[in-house]
Amino acid sequence: MERTLVLVKPDGVQRGLVGAIISRLEQRGLKLVALKMLWLDEALAQRLYAIHRGKPFFERLIKYVTACPLVAAVFEGEGAVALTRQAMGETDPARASPGSIRGDFGIDIGRNLVHGSDSVENAQPEIDLFFTPQEIYSYPRDTDSWIFE
């Protein structure tokens, strides 16, 4: 089973969409295995988004994700990274499909509600930024036989 990091960014928290976003991912069959609210400091934000360092929007991105608390979660399931990214929709809400998180709730590319790991390779290092192994719970779920073949 794959795991992926999901962050409900500050605009999602401010707009009261945490429950709706988590629910969308659970409804896709993904299992929530870790969850916490935290306020990112600048150092952690810069580590998370290091790939964007030097881009014109980098400083605005760091200011945005450190402006208020966010919610960090780990979801698990077959193809969790791809399923999560599909459920989130395109980064630009104007291009995101209806039915996706950003397509239904997003308004502005700079305030796009959620972050999800972009690859299986990046998922674990991102998860490690936010959670210790003791904070992630593996548990059987009776519905899995009805979700995964």
Catalytic residue among 13, 115, 117, 123: 115
52 is a catalytic site residue: no
Please state the φ and ψ torsions of residue 37, each to the nearest 5 degrees: -105, 135
Secondary structure E strands in the chain: 2-8, 31-38, 70-77, 114-116
Please state the φ and ψ torsions of residue 116, each to the nearest 5 degrees: -140, 145
Cβ–Cβ < 8 Å for 146, 45: no
Active site positions, annotated: 115
